[in-house]
Amino acid sequence: MKTANYQFLNSLGKALISLSVSAATLILLNLYYLDTQTPVGITAQPGKVIHGRHFRAVMGAAQKNDDTTQITGFERHNGLDYAIVTVHTSFSASDYPILSYKITGRHHGMSVSLMWRTRDNPSELYLVDLPWDEDGSSSTALHSNPEWRGRIIEIGLSVTGEPRESPLVVSHLTLEANSWRGAISSMWREWTTPRGWTMQSINLLHGTIRRKSLSPTVVMAAWGGVALILLAGTGLYRKRHDLPSYGAVLLIPWIALDLLWQRELSAQLIETKHLFGGKTTHEKHQADIDRHLYRYMHRLKEQVLPSSPSRIFIAHNSKGHNFERLKAQYYLLPNNIFNFGQTPPSRGIEPDDYILLLGGLPDLTYLEHQGVLVWAENHSLKVDLIDSDPGGTLYKARSPVVRNAISIDGPG
């Protein structure tokens, strides 16, 4: 029994030593890469601190409190709540490739992005998502963003979400020179920040909040791979291979990656409980990410469309599968839905059928004076305007689709 325990500890020790050497090697290689990729390399240049009190609200509402700014109000736009605070400044982006900050009051259903403008292109607004931690302190590397270039003339925060128990408090943004500590910290924050549940999460979930960031899956594979090579090299030199240690150097990175995944699941569990816990089905839909679409379709079914199932043709400026048009179809059931194409079909529409245009369609025109919809290749359809909403427009057909020349300049 003692021999078995010794062999287990010996194999585990070899694995841990190999993994430690592998981790040190990868960290040094990454720091060397960062040193070569930033214009000034890794330096000890002092940082530039922007205190919270300096920010002003350009969307939503904010108030000063000692040395901080509290975001106290949001504005509704495209079904989402927004708040933006900025400050005018002037510095060279290349001097500060790393950003650290303290922003408290953030929750799992809120997204915070850094925004900035440059002197070379002041009309363009650039955004990058910011990682976060429960205590509000975090950091991110900016040098990998191709737009973090030139002279920055305005910097701020764009907040998307809903206010909850406490307001979002901006304590400070600190722009830092490149450093070993900052580079490693920003990478770790990227891996441990909850990414949230989106319409794509059922198919995939990125290991970072930004797709171009270094994925922990790649790093864990490299960590175990380099350690495996080290063990194999040692085994060849000693002419004796320890198979349990080989298994350990593959299993430990796998477990570490799974723990990151479990952290994401725990964060999502908290958010799901907050949004849907103890609510009816109707209330859950009202709280979901597509609540604006649900409310619109629910109003159409309850107040506009007939109580008996109708034939509805959905048109949307998209190709293939699209989240909004598919959810609209789902919420309109049990109506008979045709949901293909960017414009109404050239065949199949009959009088008393409905045409639902979701959002704007640049290739489709409604001639109000003629009561006609016109789209590509002179297709036209006589319709009645039934309902108009920021989310779309509902028409009722009075005739089949025809191909003819319709003047859009005035009555024909």
Residue-wise pLDDT tens digits, 297-325: 999 999 999 999 999 999 998 887 788 89
Cβ pair 108, 268 in contact under 8 A: yes
Work out the mean pLDDT of the chain and round it to a whole number.
Answer: 84
**What is the spatial distance between Cα 48 and Cα 327, in angstroms, rounded to a whole number?**
46
Residue 410 is predicted with a pLDDT of 45
Q: What angle do CA 401, 407, 409 make, to 5 degrees?
A: 135
Percent of the chain scoring above 70 in pLDDT? 90
Residue 6 is predicted with a pLDDT of 67
Higher pLDDT, 83 or 9: 83
Q: Please report which confidence band the pLDDT of residue 406 belongs to, taking 50, 70 and 90 as the band edges.
A: low
Of 2-6, 190-194, 229-233, minimum mean pLDDT range: 2-6
Helix (H, G, I), strand (E, B) or coil at 38: coil
Q: Please report which confidence band the pLDDT of residue 411 belongs to, taking 50, 70 and 90 as the band edges.
A: very low
Could you state, in order of their start, the residue ranges of all structural domains in the chain?
Answer: 1-43+186-279, 45-177, 290-403
Residue 304 is predicted with a pLDDT of 94
Of 17-26, 135-144, 242-251, 284-293, minimum mean pLDDT range: 135-144
Mean pLDDT of 23-47: 69
Token pair recorded at residue 301: 């079914």
pLDDT beyond 90 at 187: no
pLDDT beyond 60 at 119: yes
Topology annotation, domain 45-177: Jelly Rolls (2.60.120)
Q: In this structure, how many other beta carbons lie within 10 angstroms of the beta carbon of residue 360?
A: 10
Q: Please report which confidence band the pLDDT of residue 35 belongs to, taking 50, 70 and 90 as the band edges.
A: low
**DSSP annotation of 343:** S
Higher pLDDT, 67 or 136: 67
pLDDT beyond 50 at 412: no
Most confident of 83-97, 203-217, 264-278: 83-97
Cβ pair 290, 336 in contact under 8 A: no
- 122 half-sphere exposure, CB direction, 13 A CA radius: 6
Cβ pair 210, 129 in contact under 8 A: yes
pTM tops 0.75, yes or no: no
- Separation in Å, CA 54 to CA 63, 90, 135: 11, 14, 22
Q: Please report which confidence band the pLDDT of residue 199 belongs to, taking 50, 70 and 90 as the band edges.
A: low
Higher pLDDT, 80 or 177: 177
The H or E element that residue 272 is part of is helix 243-276
Q: Please report which confidence band the pLDDT of residue 405 belongs to, taking 50, 70 and 90 as the band edges.
A: low
Q: Please report which confidence band the pLDDT of residue 332 belongs to, taking 50, 70 and 90 as the band edges.
A: very high
Residue with tokens 């293909």: 340
Mean pLDDT of 17-34: 84
**What is the spatial distance between Cα 349 and Cα 315, in angstroms, rounded to a whole number?**
13
pLDDT beyond 60 at 39: no
**What is the spatial distance between Cα 90 and Cα 118, in angstroms, rounded to a whole number?**
9
Mean pLDDT of 158-178: 84
Instruction: List the beta bridge partners of residue 159.
Output: 83, 112
Phi-psi group of 266: left, alpha or beta (phi > 0 → left; psi -120 to 50 → alpha; rest → beta): alpha
Residue 348 is predicted with a pLDDT of 87
Instruction: List the beta bridge partners of residue 63.
Output: 70
Q: Would you call 44 exposed, middle or buried from its count of C-beta atoms within 10 A (0-12, 13-18, 19+)?
A: exposed
Most confident of 63-77, 321-335, 358-372: 321-335
Residue 185 is predicted with a pLDDT of 77
